[in-house]
Chains A and B, each alone.
Chain A
Amino acid sequence: MFNLFLDDAAALVVVLPLLISAIIAFMPSKIWPWIISLVTLVLHLVLSLHLLKEISISGLIIYEFGNWEPPWGISFKIDGVNIGLQLLFSIFALISTFYSRKIFLSEIDSRDSGKAYSLWLLAIGSLNGIILTNDIFNLFVFLEISALASISLIALGAGQNRKALLAAFNYLIIGAIGATFYVIGVGFAYAMTGTLNMNDLVIQLAQYSDGQLAIFAGMSFMLIGLMVKAAIFPVHIWLPPAYSYAPSAVSTLLAALATKTILYFFVRLLYEVFIIYPSYLSLFLDFVLYPLSLLAIFIGTLIAIYQDDIKKLLAFSSIAQIGYITLAFSLKDHSGITSGFIHIFNHALIKGGLFMAVGYFAILQKDRVTLTSLKGFGYKYPITSFALLICGLSLIGLPLTNGFISKLYLFQALYTNQMYFSIALVAVSSALAVAYFWKIVEQMWFSEIKFKLEKEDAYIYLPIWIITVSIIVFGIYSSPIIEFSNLSADYLISGYQN
């Protein structure tokens, strides 16, 4: 029985959360939806670990739905590129679900608990689909499911602040534009090649070896659509309000995982499919993605400095951090892709930890967390505050944290590509990150007002500290993350060299 279950692990990691989501949608209980979600995600983690084991033996899993052979049927593909991300996704989804209960209970109507967890699992399942799918149209489907689930989750924040509705609506419109762009691109590709399967697409595209305008148009549409979804500057505008007005648990999940999965697919599309037109690819990378990444890093950081609302500050810092990732991906070599993946992992942990801590503060004071409202929190809630401090130091990239490892490998990649200007810019922007982060620390520990120590909830600070400890552990013992990233780069770059 259990083996049967494991045989379909590749499909179940996506299908299981989607199925359970439908089951718990109308459950009236306050606590059961959470427990069921938690159990689901434990199973999800078991399945992911099983996939890891399979991959370490065979190196590649193609799962064909309904035994329809690709290119006709839909297939999932798991290989070295996405197995690391799958594992991270599974672990983080579990931790943030554990964290989410009390946060949800105090931010939304408790009768909505079932609906909230239904959407939550829907988002998790569909985002996981983005990681695994090997079909460009199937990706569109998952993009849409995840967008609708996220939008509804963001809109749940309306109980706290009505602006959440506007943010959700913004996301809906801009996200829909992005998705439309993407699907137009898919249409072009399908019209030219008659296939949607990524592996097959590579083969079919090869017949237009010198390229066709229609294909380039299609590729451009797809890339722009994905850029909107991944919040790459300057089409990032939906992200800061969405992250900052969503319920705190939702911001955590989205900030850590949502954009990361799309970035993963983005780079996969670039280096696995579009690679057959190297001139187009380098045009895109050198003249679009590279300059936009630099702008994202710089402008995102500068805007973050002037934010008063902490969640917005973190969201703008995310824009800058996504800029680091795309900067690394624009380098067209092994070191660049490796460092991009390293930062995907590390930034998911860092931003997840930060949003968790700030989210906890938000429900403690039952109001938006602003700089002034944080006064004296270092004395009032020392356990959470200290976790926030460590995550923040990691965001700056100080040694002994995983943020430093990211920075180290990014510098190395830039250096081997002789991009000295970018190195200078990255160095300056990491120093500017001190400016916005230190404003928080100053308010928390060095303001005049002193508060009495208050009790903190172990159910909430435990997951925060799991993330925080992992930040330090991966800062010192960084080889797991580096190996997974290396593996991803190996798989992607082998396509590049062929």
Chain B
Amino acid sequence: MSNSFLIILGIITPLFAALFSYVCRYNNNLRDSFGIIGGLVTFLISLKIFHGIQNNEIFQITFFTLFDGVDFTFKVTALGSIFSLVASSLWILASIYTIGYMRGAGEKNQTRFVIFYSIAIHAALAIAWSGNLLVLFIFYEILTFSTFPLVGHKQNTESQSAGRLYLSILVGTSLIFFLPAIFWIWLETGTLDFQDGGILINQFPAEYLSLLIAMLVFGIGKAAIMPIHRWLPAAMVAPTPVSALLHAVAVVKAGVFSFLVVIVYIVGPEFLLQTKSSDWLVWLACFTIMASSIIAITKDDLKARLAYSTISQLSYIILGAALASSLALKGASFHIITHALGKITLFFCAGAIYVTAHIKKVSELKGMGFKLPLIFFAYTLGALSIIGVPPFIGSWSKFYLIMGSIEREFIVVAIILGISSLLNIYYLLQPVVMGFTQTSRREVKLTKAPLTVWPPVITGLSCLIFFFYANYFLNNVSGVIVI
């Protein structure tokens, strides 16, 4: 199979999954199985591409020219191969989980849900493999629009206003900042293609680079840096599979991925290091990390707490991109994988607790650990990985990020990362402590939903296992950084 054909197949498979789900909308089992099949197919393709990138193969396909110097083209970068692998592999598990959750919670309009879920994955994969910034932008917008029906799924007043906030922040920032930034880059350089080492060096006026970086980081609203983070907690009204796959993996990772891609392949780390135009962003990212950790502590709603934890973790990646040293970029790229694995585990658990025990609040979890041992076991694994305790995979990316900040002689940043880990321990492990130490007098009726229990166990265990195989990913991660 030729390489360009693989890309097309990978990108359209989710669309076919959506189409077949619609065609088979009257047969629930058949309808929901297409998510799993689509996940398997895209996962195999992503894996093949991932290996191909390791062997320096080129995956590229160009369809047509949009305007001078900008084609509608896909080209897999090392960074893109990582993101697509994460998104597609977790799609399989999320599809299984979706079946358990949506039926367990008795949600309406399941067909529409499944369809837009697949379209969102399609957009995420296309973002991962896009060959230039404009193609990335197109699918960035498709991702926003396709997740809108998922956020507003319940169609009540709360979810409708959440959907509006979601859309207005994401589309608004992208049209006001991101698109003009893309135009600006094109006007200065005449191209938007992703190239190793960036395209801006010697082409773009260095004194305006800080402004461009600001337009990009605020324009890519999905990266959820403060003060444009409000959409993410609002989006938590969506059913948990959405929060798990989209708002812990696909959507937010698409945001930080886009920013990372811009830094690595458009601006170029070298140019950043010369001009130090992103140093201000280091401090903004640090502020976001600390502030959202502190907000997370105050949240009693488990999903809201996880949402703020996500905001803080996303800023780790932005921090790494802003530092732009090779170790920091390595850490940032690797953090896409580690955080995805950890956070999807936590969201899966939150959803599983809701479906089986109908509990949403941390304070109500007293004694639940004895009743739901597997879920709490998986939760603990995920939490430990995000905190960054060895031997969990999350410890690697944190290690590289701290090393990166020391490399750039930002000692304060290294200290902040340490403090943030302590805060992580507090707010992520508190539910576990509550679940196992305090006993509840309240009787809780448990519903069985095995399909929601096993996916988090699998992802939780993989957090542990992949610690020992980190090199497998790091090969590609190292391919990202060519300085």
Query: Interface of A with B (CB < 8 Å)?
Result: 396-400, 405, 408, 411-412, 415, 423-424, 427-428, 430-431, 434-435, 438, 442, 445-448, 476-478
Q: A405–B68 Cα gap in the complex (Å)?
A: 11
Interface residues of B in 66-99 (CB under 8 A from A): 66-67, 72
Given A415-B183, A427-B179, A446-B152, 4 additional A-B pairs, CB 8 A? A396-B175, A399-B138, A428-B176, A442-B164
Given A408-B183, A427-B176, A477 contacting B171 (CB threshold 8 A): no
Which residue of B has the minimal Cβ distance to A435? B168
Residues of B within 8 A of A431 (CB): 171-172, 175-176
Cβ–Cβ < 8 Å partners of A446 in chain B: 148-149, 152, 155, 160, 163
B172–A434 touching, CB < 8 Å: yes
CA distance A171 to B183 in the complex (A): 40
**Most B Cβ at <10 Å: residue of A397, A434, A447:** A434
Q: A398 contacts B141, CB within 8 Å?
A: yes
Residues of A within 8 A of B469 (CB): none
Residues 171-188 (chain B) with a chain A CB within 8 angstroms: 171-172, 175-177, 179-180, 183-184, 187
Contacts of B149 in A (CB 8 A): 445-446
B168 touches A411 (CB 8 A): no
Instruction: Tell me if B167 is interfacial: C-beta within 8 Å of chain A.
Output: yes
Asked if A438 and B167 sit within 8 Å, CB to CB, the answer is yes
The A interface, classified by DSSP as helix, strand, loop or mixed, is helix
Q: Which of chain B's residues 382-436 have a Cβ closer than 8 Å to chain A?
A: none
Q: How far is the CA of A438 from the CA of B149 in the complex (A)?
A: 13
Nearest A residue to B149 via CB reads A446
* Contact status B171-A399, CB under 8 Å: no
Residue of B nearest to A431 (CB): B175
- With A and B bound together, what is the CA distance between A398 and B145 in angstroms? 12
15 contacts between A and B (CB under 8 A): A398-B138, A399-B137, A399-B141, A411-B180, A412-B187, A415-B183, A415-B184, A415-B187, A427-B175, A427-B177, A431-B171, A435-B168, A438-B168, A446-B148, A446-B163
Question: In the complex, which residues of chain A have a beta carbon less than 8 angstroms from the beta carbon of B64?
Answer: 476-477
0 or 1 for each of B269-299: is its CB under 8 Å from A? (1 = yes)? 0000000000000000000000000000000
Which residues in A have their C-beta under 8 angstroms from that of B155? 446-448
Nearest neighbor of A430 in chain B, beta-carbon distance: B175
Q: Which residues of B contact A435 (CB under 8 A)?
A: 168
From DSSP, what is the main secondary structure of chain B's interface residues?
A: helix
For residue A440, give the distance in angstroms from its CB to the closest CB of chain B: 13
In this assembly, does B134 line the interface, its C-beta being within 8 Å of a C-beta of chain A? yes
3 A-B pairs with the lowest CB-CB distances in the bound complex, closest first: A431-B175, A431-B172, A411-B183
A396 to B172, CA, bound (A): 11
CB distance from B38 to the nearest CB of A (A): 24
> Distance (Å) between the CB of B11 and the closest chain A CB?
15
Contacts of B134 in A (CB 8 A): 399
Report which of B66, B160, B177, B187 forms a contact with A399, defined as CB distance below 8 A. B66
- A412 to B243 Cα, complex, angstroms: 39
Nearest Cβ on chain A to B242's Cβ, whole angstroms: 15
Question: Given the complex, which residues of B lie within 8 Å of A438, measured CB to CB?
Answer: 164, 167-168
Q: How far apart sit A400 and B67, CA to CA, in the bound complex (Å)?
A: 11
Q: Are A423 and B167 in contact (CB under 8 A)?
A: no
Structural contact, A412 and B183, CB atoms closer than 8 A = yes
Q: Which residues of chain B from 126 to 167 have a CB within 8 Å of any chain A CB?
A: 134, 137-138, 141, 148-149, 152, 155, 160, 163-164, 167
Shortest CB–CB separation between residue B173 and chain A, in angstroms?
8
- Which of A430, A446, A478: most chain B Cβ within 10 A? A446
Among residues of B, the one whose C-beta sits closest to the C-beta of A405 is B67
List residues of chain B with CB within 8 A of the CB of A397: 175
**Residue of chain A at shortest CB distance from B148:** A446
Note all chain B residues with C-beta closer than 8 A to A448. Answer: 155
A442 neighbours in B (Cβ, 8 Å): 160, 164
Contact with A along B230-256 (1 / 0, CB 8 A): 000000000000000000000000000
For the complex formed, measure the closest distance between the CB of B180 and the CB atoms of chain A, giving whole angstroms: 5
Question: With A and B bound together, what is the CA distance between A397 and B72 in angstroms?
Answer: 17
For B137, the closest partner residue in chain A by CB is: A399
Most buried by B among A405, A427, A430, A435: A427
Contact in complex: B172, A427 (CB < 8 Å): no
- Closest residue of chain B to A439, judged by CB? B164
In the complex, which residues of chain A have a beta carbon less than 8 angstroms from the beta carbon of B164? 438, 442
| Minimum CB–CB distance for A138 against chain B, Å | 39
Query: In the complex, which residues of chain B have a beta carbon less than 8 angstroms from the beta carbon of A428?
Result: 176
Bound CA–CA A79/B300 (angstroms)? 71
Q: Measured between alpha carbons, how far is A478 from B64 in the docked complex, in Å? A: 11
Residues in chain B near residue A398, CB distance under 8 A: 138, 141
- In the complex, how many angstroms separate the beta carbon of A302 from the nearest chain B beta carbon? 15
Specify the chain A residue showing the minimal Cβ separation from B171.
A434
Closest beta carbon of chain B to A317's beta carbon, Å: 16
Residues of A within 8 A of B66 (CB): 399-400, 476
Which residues of the partner chain A approach B168 to less than 8 Å between Cβ atoms? 434-435, 438
In the complex, how many angstroms separate the beta carbon of A379 from the nearest chain B beta carbon?
11
- Assembly CA distance A397 to B138 (angstroms): 11
Contacts of A408 on B, CB cut-off 8 Å? Answer: 67, 183
Q: Give chain A nearest CB distance to B23 CB in angstroms.
A: 16
B180 proximity list for chain A (CB < 8 A): 411, 423-424, 427
Distance in angstroms between the alpha carbons of A396 and B141 in the assembled complex: 12
From residue A154, how far is it (CB to closest CB) to chain B in Å?
A: 34
* A399 proximity list for chain B (CB < 8 A): 66, 134, 137-138, 141
Contact residues in B for A478 (Cβ distance below 8 Å):
67
Report Cα–Cα, A398/B66, bound state, in Å: 13
Most chain A CB within a 10 A radius of its CB, from B66, B138, B149, B155: B66
A423 and B184 CA atoms in complex are apart in Å by 10
Interface string of B198-219 (1 = CB under 8 A from A): 0000000000000000000000
Complex alpha-carbon distance, A153 and B183, angstroms? 43
Q: Looking across the interface, which residue of chain B has its beta carbon closest to that of A446?
A: B152
Closest chain B CB from A471 CB (angstroms):
15
Q: Which residues of A contact B160 (CB under 8 A)?
A: 442, 446
A396 to B187, CA, bound (A): 21
Determine the chain A residues whose CB is within 8 A of the CB of B72 once the complex forms. Answer: 476
Complex Cα distance A431/B179, Å? 11
Task: Identify the interface centre among B137, B167, B176: most chain A CB within 10 Å of its CB.
Answer: B176
Whole-angstrom distance between the alpha carbons of A433 and B383 in the complex?
42
Give B410 Cβ to nearest chain A Cβ, in Å.
32
Complex alpha-carbon distance, A428 and B164, angstroms: 17
User: Complex Cα distance A130/B64, Å?
Assistant: 38
The contact of B138 among A400, A424, A434, by CB within 8 Å, is A400
Chain A nearest CB from B353 CB (Å) reads 29
Distance in angstroms from B107 CB to nearest chain A CB is 15
Question: A318 to nearest B CB, angstroms?
Answer: 20
Compute how far the CA of A78 lies from the CA of B181 in the bound complex, rounded to whole angstroms: 40
**Chain A residues in 8 Å Cβ range of B183:** 408, 411-412, 415
A residues near B141, Cβ cutoff 8 Å: 398-399
In chain B, what residue has the closest Cβ to A428? B176
Shortest A413–chain B CB gap in Å is 11
Q: Least Cβ distance of B152 to chain A in Å?
A: 6
**Complex Cα spacing A434 to B179, Å:** 14
Chain B residues whose C-beta falls within 8 Å of the C-beta of A430 in the assembled complex: 175
**Complex formed: what's the CA distance from A408 to B183 in Å?**
7
Which residues of the other chain, B, contact A427 by a CB distance below 8 angstroms?
175-177, 179-180
